[in-house]
A and B are shown apart, each in its own frame.
Chain A
Amino acid sequence: MEKLLNEMSSECKPAYSLNLDVECDYQIPENLKRNSNLGLPNIAESDLLRHFINLSRQNYALSTTFYPLGSCTMKYNPLINECIAKFNEFNSVHPYQAQESMQGILEIIYKLEKDLCEISGLDYFSLQPAAGAHGEFTGLLVISKYFKSIKQKRTKIIIPDSAHGTNPASATLAGFDIIPFKSDLDGSLSIEKLKEILTPEVAAVMLTVPNTLGVFEKSIIEISKIVHDNGSLLYYDGANLNAVMGIIRPGDIGFDVMHINLHKTFSTPHGGGGPGAGPVGVKAFLEPFLPVPRIELKKLKYILNYKKSKSIGKIKSFFGNFPVLLKAYIYIKSLGSVGLKNVSEQAVLNANYMLAKLKNIIDVPAGEKCMHEFVLSPKSVLKNSVKTLDVAKRLLDYGYYSPTVYFPAIVEEAIMIEPTETESKDTLDKFIEVLIKIILEESNKCPQKVKDAPVNTPVKRLNEVEAARNPVLKW
């Protein structure tokens, strides 16, 4: 067990120190002065290094293991991206220095926008949002402001029940009411049901394509027509864009607004929970509403344009998560148009290969084909009240990170697998073998072993109920 920082604290010389080369000069009035102790730990540099390296070794990461986490697109994070992102000429630039002195950065943002437009078929992007959910929120505010500008009162958003939880949460934050859309068993959407709930108050329908069960929505063109005939807009949740790059473009099939998770499709590392980036793309008629500043090219100079009277304003300070944008742009430049299409083809190939190997053994509610991910429902084959959660934990014992489990909620005991394009057939074969072994063999012959899993991890099964019942949130 690795000690906590406060438990390591001693009267040693701490890791960092500073010299002052001017006179120490600070007088602080009593009423402004801190009186309480800080209580920061005192730890030497060598011990502090060991502590964090030891902690890092308690993580399963993409750099150490297969991470088939459905919906999260845990693809290989190229090292060249990290290498370039460390350049001082990117990291030491101040956001308020003159535009002329940050032309390289503005050029990258500008050109990344253009590439994202080309990939998505939308006309403009704002790269300001810091994550997928932030992009959703931005896109929905754009939609809201647009309808206000044409004096239409539209207060509702239709969201399928298979959507990511961020969709309804973002729509609520943006001031909309949610109309839930019950999807069919395979996650697809019924045109008849859509017509029933599509009222004049609906501002937009938010769809994930392919959906979270890994199925491409066959009726998308008809859905698009019905939605637009109603005067509503169509929103594309780009979480699953990795399935369709160079294959279809959301803008071409009727979507008006979308966000892209650069930390999924465009390979920027997830960092244990961020930073990400959630650029938001729109059709031309919505461009005036995008956040400021817009980065534009005027007389061969890249400029920041704040003068957009219809803009929703700022969604965060400055220009977005630049290092993330930079890494995504490097990725696009390294792959090129052929490489990008190859990504989606190989991602879909890998997923279908795994599905083909598993579909005769474990139930697949969405049928025998998939896009870049698929969802299993092992309920009928698991024996001795072994649950999906147990299977997930047992996989950790074999050195794999777990697939996404219990999502989407419309599938019982769901196991959602997304291999991505960067894994070899050999890796997939070995994982499939282990998954089948756990579900068919171990759940039958040694169920307690599965229920007691994991045992090969730094800690055994953790008590989440206790954590929430009696919260200990700091030392």
Chain B
Amino acid sequence: MDYTQQNYKAIKQMLDSIGVTSIDELFSDIPKDLRVKELNISNGQTEQELLNSFKGLALKNKISTTFRGAGIYDHYIPSLVWEVIGRSEFLTAYTPYQAEASQGTLQAIFEYQSLICALTGLDVANASLYDGSTSVAEAVVLSLRISGKNKILISSLLHPEYIQTVKTYLENSKAELVVLPQGANGAIERTVLEANIDDNTAAVVIQSPNYLGIIEDMQTLSAATKSKNVLFIAVVNPLSLGLFQAPGEYNADIAVGEGQVLGSPMAVGGSTFGFMAVKKSLEWKIPGRIVGQTTDKDSKRGFVLTLQSREQHIRREKATSNICTNASLNALAGCVFLAGWGDEGFVNLAKTNISKARYAFNKIKSLEGFKVKFENKTFFNEFVIETQKNIKKINKVLLKNNILGPLDLSNFNENLTNCLLFCVTEQRTKKEIDKLVELLAKI
């Protein structure tokens, strides 16, 4: 099955108009000896056949009640989000270059930018980046470029795949990446940051909640960074900003993060979107598309892609980034998600996450063989528990009961052998948490 339209008669007419006798003649510039004989690809299938075969493939994946997070989270996606991103007028439009014919996408991106600014407390947001990991990499590249310095301090408690991505992005640059070790309490300590910062430091990158779920003392870390005239890059979970300090409040220069929690399904880790918000002074330095408000000939409000002289299609090798296609549809989901809660509802969503996580935390830590790893630390919806029990066995038993258990942190670093990272979002019911606890108690 293919989606071409021309029948024999139309093809004949078209060939006549062109002045050739066969379609093959249209390829006469390509030397015959370079031509492919036949592709070894299976025969085409009808829609019905496809549906059946892909149902079969889908069923080879297992869906469980998940208590695992570590960068990708099971959150509720309201029906409205699905409805809007399924609208073919959004789904099948291109990047909105022709503004007058793309006001839907442009206004939605403008609204998205405004909502990201509201959430982060910063001044300017771009139209999205690929995901959380690349948003951190872009922020690092930005800070190296504008500071002219070449050292980056990065938290060891930043998501390990984000650190790896940043390393890859910096592979051929002169930049030096210094990983700040974690303190005994599962967070980055001010003294460690201060011991590593110097005149050559371009930026400090701290994630909060960090990979272990702990809320970092961003106020203190940012102040220590800013006092040295170094850029502070905050990597944040946007849902946590309903309750926890916003990057703008602690004077961060750049806030980035993973937008999956705002209305995108887990989908084995992508597609999602990355967001970036910066202080006003950096608006001409930010990578990627930005939508701005303007007026039309009749002085009516409208929206266009703007500050384009930062971008690759204008500036080529001097652009602020190579990014072109980003993750617009996922950012649209983020916009629809953020628009429907109101302040109180959004704070309530954050409170629900933390309350359910604390409910599970209190129950699990009181079980025999399980104990709290980091005492008295504030967390959002993930926490670390140390256990003397066999972790493989724990997750095997849980999986038998259709539960995706906590992440085994043994391989993350040597301080976390026998440690588990639990995640409890608003999606988990009391009943599911009780069941988890009951199963853990029996192991």
Contact = CB atoms under 8 A, between A and B. Distances in A.
A296 interface: no
Contact of B339 (A48, A56, A130, A392): A48
Interface residues of A, number: 199
Given A272-B95, A272-B329, A473-B113, A338 B44 contact: yes
A178 B317 contact: yes
A97 interface: yes
Interface string A331-350: 01111111111110110111
A69 B94 contact: yes
Given A36-B246, A246-B36, A274 B329 contact: yes
A303 B247 CA distance: 39
B57 interface: yes
B296 interface: yes
A52 B354 contact: no
A433 B381 CA distance: 60
Contacts of B151: none
Contacts of B338: 40
Given A39-B343, A314-B133, A64 B89 contact: yes
A423 interface: yes
A107 B172 contact: no
B192 interface: no
A248 interface: yes
6 contacts: A16-B78, A58-B102, A91-B266, A102-B60, A169-B321, A247-B30
B127 A273 contact: yes
Interface string B19-34: 1000100110111001
B266 A95 contact: yes
* Residue among B80, B220, B298 having the largest count of chain A Cβ atoms under 10 Å: B80
B47 A334 contact: yes
* Residue among A49, A74, A104, A221 having the largest count of chain B Cβ atoms under 10 Å: A104
A452 interface: yes
A26 B296 contact: no
Nearest to B405: A97
B325 A273 contact: yes
Nearest to B265: A91
7 cross-chain pairs, A with B, having the tightest CB-CB distances, nearest first: A175-B172, A318-B269, A336-B44, A271-B329, A104-B60, A273-B328, A95-B269
* Residue among A121, A171, A263, A323 having the largest count of chain B Cβ atoms under 10 Å: A323
B330 to A, nearest CB: 6
Interface stretch (B9-17, B194-202, B367-375, B383-391): B9-17
B312 A319 contact: no
Given A84-B54, A273-B96, A275-B330, 20 more contacts: A2-B103, A28-B378, A33-B244, A35-B245, A38-B119, A48-B80, A55-B104, A58-B107, A72-B94, A87-B58, A94-B74, A141-B172, A221-B34, A316-B130, A322-B267, A421-B3, A454-B100, A468-B307, A474-B123, A475-B110
Interface in B378-436: 378, 399, 404, 407, 426, 429-430, 433
A92 B266 contact: yes
Contacts of A356: 17-19
A349 B26 contact: yes
A320 B104 contact: no
Contacts of B334: none
Contact of B59 (A89, A173, A423): A89
A45 interface: yes
Given A317-B161, A461-B297, A270 B268 contact: no
Interface stretch (A75-83, A378-386, A435-443): A75-83
A97 B61 CA distance: 10
